[in-house]
Structure 1
Amino acid sequence: MISVAEARSRVLAALSPLPAELVGLTEALGRVTAEDVTARLTQPPVSMSAMDGYAVRCADVAQVPAKLRRIGEAPAGNAFKGHVGPGEAVRIFTGAPMPDGADAVVMQEDTESDGATVTVLRTVGRHRHVRLAGIDFRRGEVGIPAGRMLTARDVGLAAAMNWPWLRVRRRPRVAILATGDEIVLPGEPLGPDQIVSSNAFALAGLITACGGVPVNLGVALDTPESLARLVTGAERADILVTSGGASAGEYDLVRGVLGDRGMDLDFYKIAMRPGKPLMFGRLGDVPVLGLPGNPVSSQVCAVLFLRPALRRLLGLPAEEETRRTAVLGRPVKQNDQREDYLRASLSIGPDGELVANPFESQDSSLLTVLARADCLVVRPPFAPAASAGDTVEFLPLGGGVLSL
């Protein structure tokens, strides 16, 4: 068995970012930039008023009250064409270009006007209530770096920078193949020795959330012929993920069938709990990640290996969801030789500290426990027993207090 760290390193070393493609701005949300997005213009292009009021020379209102002659008006989108000289003011509205000669704006509530004359009641400094040209961004500046998963805010910035389309990484196509005679789909008739399939649906959800495109190949029966037939659907995938059929049992056929088809096996078995029977190799040009069939083990391994693999394919930087620390809310036992990932909830303690509370039962068949978990508390090999209040590391799963 190899360590989790070594296994993950091998998986990531075998992958590289996918090619780029152009998408329209309306399709860019959640995509990953393949190159820097630079401003195609300066924003604002000229200095503009940030308030409704009067454009003035600050020297003219250094002492108040100050009476100024109104010489014109500047609504948004229609600049005043003249020049503001000593003792003059221009009625201006938010977003209107600042007239030549003016260097500040007095808010209208700080003035009195009889039409031709404006009385300023409060002094303003230079550039007060003025948005200077280029204060947001200037032409050629990088607004969005390469390798960023675009948020709605990023899309808005790209639009403001005058980009109707963006170059992004192609979404990874991930083929999902579940195995087992005992598996039936949700809603199908259930025999006495069968279980309802959940792995493919959980994996598809994780893949979608990480920016990939799941391709469900179906459920292969425990025969070489069935498995070989369905695996052909992965020929154009960027990665094949199998669920089940990879351990040492008589009916666990994935390694054998894929090996017969030319799979180059990199490793098999990880020193971790849950998820010991994890496999990685390459079938032609397609990387293969073989997850355990146990639903909890499958999902934990997907978090540890599939999620970072998808990030690598998308050209994202190193895993953002690195290990964090919390204090234990309850004691845990000494660990053995396998790195353990305890399902736990998170809460905020009385002193504002983050508290990880491992669930009492860590049985790897309990999907309800995993669904309620906010994180995986990491217990290194041979870690000694820990008490409530001790500091531990954890991997976030999302939700709970971390979503606040």
Structure 2
Amino acid sequence: MLSVADALARVAARFAALPAEQVALPQALGRVLAEDLAATRDQPPAPVSAMDGYAVRSADLTGGSARLRVIGRVPAGGSFAGRVEAGTAVRIFTGAPVPDGADAVAIQENATVEGADVVLEGAVASGRNVRAQGLDVRAGETVLQAGRRLTARDLGLAASLNRVWLRVRRRPRVAILGTGDELVPPGVQPGPNAIIASNNVTLAAMVTAWGAQPIDLGIAPDRADGLRSALGNAAGADLLLTSGGASVGELDLMREVMDAPDDADGLAFWKIAMRPGKPLIFGHVGGVPLLGLPGNPVSSAVCACLFARAAIEVMLGRPHHPVLSSARLGRAMAANDTREDYVRARIERAADGETTATPFERQDSSMFRTFALADALIVRPPHAPAAQQGDRVQVMLLSPDGLAV
């Protein structure tokens, strides 16, 4: 059996970043930048006031108080054509450009207006209450890097840089096909021996959260001709995900209908040393890369979190390795066998910031409810020794980056 790391490397090697496309700024949320985003001018473009008050020369207030003649007024978006000279001040508002000659702003709370003059109390250091030109970004500076998944905050930053269009990676098209005569779609009254199919829904939601476009191909029967016909509907997809038919049973037909193993587009691997998810296939059908996931819903979802997401991330120009973090173990765990374990767990964060991962007591792969309730998967390498409560373990969060997985 192939190790998880080797299988991930083989999957990632079969994909490349997709071409870029241009989208309007409001439609870029969650998309992945295809090029670095640089500022075209300083922000702010000139020194501006950080407070309402009076633009002054700090040298005029070294004595602790001063009476200054008010020679003008400058609101945000306006300007003052003159110059602040010794003994003068300009009324200024937050965001307004600081007039020439002034090097500080005295806040209005310390000011008393007396006719054409203002009396200011307290010394003001040079630069006080002034936002320097380029304080936020400098012209030519890269502010967002290619490969970044854009957040609402990123869109606001892009807007402040006067960008209304962004170049992002095209969304990968991911075809999804369930297999099995026993399956019926949600909403259909099941017969006594039928199983309500959930994998298509789960996988479509996952790939959507990861930035891809799902294409639901429905459910194929356990017949080679029907399966071939359904797989043909994936033409033009960037990735095909199937669930079921990947094991060794008489009706597990996925390997039979794939491209020939000796073809460059044929079978790349079968069987992974992991739990859940041992019967995983990777190859091609009609030139479309295929990940044949197990039919068991938990196994299918866990394998998708590793391998389908890796393929999508590569196509989006992002790192494809799963991000692992460290946590304290909330319950003792027995020694592991020869397979890499992905154990469903709840995450709790204490007031001191310490994270605890507590595995569900039962890990049967038929129990999808525990997968839905899990926050993370505890990753245990092959032959890991028994672990005690409080030991440190590695965990893979199921919803990293705020993604709704």
How does the TM-score come out when normalised to structure 2?
0.95
Give the corresponding residue for 1:311. Answer: 313
1:188 Cα offset (Å): 0.3
1:217 Cα offset (Å): 0.6
Corresponding position: 1:72 with 2:88: no
1:259 Cα offset (Å): 3.3
Give the corresponding residue for 2:127. Answer: 127
Give the corresponding residue for 2:204. Answer: 204
Task: Work out the CA distance in 2 between the residues paired with 1:40 and 1:380.
Answer: 49
Task: Work out the CA distance in 1 between the residues paired with 2:383 and 2:103.
Answer: 69
Give the corresponding residue for 1:292. Answer: 294
Give the corresponding residue for 2:279. Answer: 277
Give the corresponding residue for 2:159. Answer: 159
1:65 Cα offset (Å): 2.0
Structure 1 unaligned spans of 5+: none
Per-residue CA deviation, residues 209-254 of structure 1 (Å, 9 max, x unaligned), is 1000000011001112221111112111010011101111111111
Check 1:102–1:352 CA distance in 2 against 1; reply closer, same or farther (3 A cut): closer
Counting matched residue pairs gives 401
The answer (yes or no) to whether the contact 1:180–1:244 under 8 Å persists in 2 is yes
Give the corresponding residue for 2:269. Answer: 267
**Identity between Structure 1 and Structure 2 (%):** 55
| Structural RMSD (CA) | 1.8
Per-residue CA deviation, residues 103-142 of structure 1 (Å, 9 max, x unaligned), is 1100001111123011010111111111111111122111
1:255 Cα offset (Å): 1.3
1:260 Cα offset (Å): 6.3
Corresponding position: 1:328 with 2:347: no
Corresponding position: 1:34 with 2:54: no
The answer (yes or no) to whether the contact 2:69–2:116 under 8 Å persists in 1 is yes
Per-residue CA deviation, residues 298-351 of structure 1 (Å, 9 max, x unaligned), is 0010111111211111001344x5222222211111211111111111123586
Q: Which moved more, 1:59-68 or 1:321-330?
A: 321-330
Check 1:350–1:40 CA distance in 2 against 1; reply closer, same or farther (3 A cut): closer
Task: Work out the CA distance in 1 between the residues paired with 2:95 and 2:21.
Answer: 36
Give the corresponding residue for 1:145. Answer: 145
Secondary structure, aligned partner of 1:265:
coil
Per-residue CA deviation, residues 76-101 of structure 1 (Å, 9 max, x unaligned), is 11111111111000111111111111
Q: Which moved more, 1:385-394 or 1:103-112?
A: 385-394
Task: Work out the CA distance in 1 between the residues paired with 2:65 and 2:196.
Answer: 80
Task: Work out the CA distance in 2 between the residues paired with 1:342 and 1:247.
Answer: 21
Q: Which moved more, 1:351-360 or 1:123-132?
A: 351-360
Structure 2 unaligned spans of 5+: none
Give the corresponding residue for 1:373. Answer: 374
- 2:7 is matched by which residue type in structure 1? A
Task: Work out the CA distance in 1 between the residues paired with 2:365 and 2:319.
Answer: 31
How does the TM-score come out when normalised to structure 1?
0.96
1:145 Cα offset (Å): 0.7
Give the corresponding residue for 1:230. Answer: 230
Corresponding position: 1:393 with 2:380: no
Secondary structure, aligned partner of 1:148:
coil
Q: Which moved more, 1:255-264 or 1:390-399?
A: 255-264
1:284 Cα offset (Å): 4.2
Task: Work out the CA distance in 1 between the residues paired with 2:242 and 2:182.
Answer: 16
1:44 Cα offset (Å): 1.2
Secondary structure, aligned partner of 2:258:
helix
Q: Which moved more, 1:367-376 or 1:323-332?
A: 323-332
Task: Work out the CA distance in 1 between the residues paired with 2:269 and 2:298.
Answer: 21
- 2:13 is matched by which residue type in structure 1? A
1:279 Cα offset (Å): 0.5
Structural mapping, 1:55-134, within 5 Å: 55-134=55-134
The answer (yes or no) to whether the contact 2:55–2:102 under 8 Å persists in 1 is yes
Secondary structure, aligned partner of 1:203:
helix
1:196 Cα offset (Å): 0.5
